[in-house]
Structure 1
Amino acid sequence: MNPVHALQPQADPAPDDEATLPCPHALIAGTLALMTTWADPAPGSALDVAGLRSLLARKVVSNLFFLAEHPALSPAMRQVMTQARERWQGLTHAVPAGGAALAAGGAFWH
């Protein structure tokens, strides 16, 4: 690529080139992977468990927002995503050290 061309401003994309929504199946799969990691954080993470869970919960909430608005999903499925998002919003705050069991619903799972 010509370096001078790369520095020149690009024209706005035509309406036909607008960004498309991600496939809802991929977004659901990614969200489930985030939820799985939230439930069982990988050992050796650079973040403490509470901090990691807070970040993961925020991303889950974001994904659920987009799923709740996704036109490819049925109204019933969008409603489920909205309700799930409301539940996950409470998990976006970091849990104090020693409170990981409370973040997981108040119960220890063995």
Structure 2
Amino acid sequence: MKPNKLTEGSNMMWTSSRMILPEHREAMLRALHEEKRRERPIFDEQFAEQIGRFLAETHRTKTPVNLRMFDPFDDVRVIGIIERLDTLNRRFMVDGEWFRVADIVELGMDTE
């Protein structure tokens, strides 16, 4: 009798990845994606005031900014000149797109 290739005398391994259902694969990929989710940082009032002063000054002087924004999965940057400030709704516009002030995690000026 020949040895069974899956169990005896063979280096072959039967892996579950060859038999996974598409629904299970999607659930597994979603779970892996969620593991990479970042938590929103919490800043003190002093940083919030610094952000307000920075946005007002760079808007007034038309100085290009390079802001790192919160995103749970990616490194997102807003680079450009602040066109409009909406202090009531705590948002600003760069290149025709609105961004929330609360999403700013790092301030910088565009040096390029």
Structure whose alpha-carbon radius of gyration is higher? 2
Return the structure number with greater helix share.
1
Return the structure number with greater strand share.
2
- Of structures 1 and 2, the one scoring higher in RCO (CA 8 A, sep 6+) is 1
Q: TM-score, normalised by structure 1?
A: 0.28
Q: TM-score, normalised by structure 2?
A: 0.27
